[in-house]
Amino acid sequence: MLEPKGLENLRLQAAAEANESPPLKLFSARLKVARALRGWTQRELATLSNLPNSCIGHYEEGTRKPTIDSLLRLSIALEVTVEFLVGRVAEPNGGVGSDPLYLSIEALSGTDRALAKDFIKMLAERRDCARLRKASRRMIRCP
């Protein structure tokens, strides 16, 4: 899993490439960013998108163009918009309103929303702790 600075560098690289890169190179960069945001390996993404592992590698290297079906599978698995993957928007989720998690939370009662917010905060803290542990290569007690 990439550290936050590494993710930011990938985002900046993808944004720069959006202005000057051919579509396939841009798609490759955006796919890497989206996969890194989820903290998945190529193999994990292949499994979740029901695509061969070799396809993910080819897409990220820019040696193969995705079919529309593959593009949709990747978008669904990564929970990003197709528009992000092809470089038409800058943000992976196309805005908060299109995020499936946001849409689900929107329907909750006030009490359940507060509970969901606390749970998401706890998950983010756990992720940050795991990153610190990995970076320091020693045991850090996580909540």
> In the CATH hierarchy, which fold is given to the domain comprising 4-89?
434 Repressor (Amino-terminal Domain) (1.10.260)
Contacts of 53 by beta carbon, 8 Å cutoff, 6+ apart? 42, 43, 46
pLDDT of residue 124: 82
Domain segments of the chain as ranges: 4-89
pLDDT of residue 42: 95
pLDDT at 2 over 60: no
pLDDT of residue 1: 45
- pLDDT tens-digit readout, 123-133: 888 877 777 77
Please give the average per-residue pLDDT across 49-78, as a whole number.
94
Query: What is the pTM assigned to this prediction?
Result: 0.59
How far does CA 119 lie from the centroid of its chain? 20
Say if CB 59 and CB 32 are below 8 A apart: no
pLDDT of residue 113: 80
| Residue appearing with tokens 């978008």 | 75
- pLDDT tens-digit readout, 28-48: 999 998 999 888 999 999 999
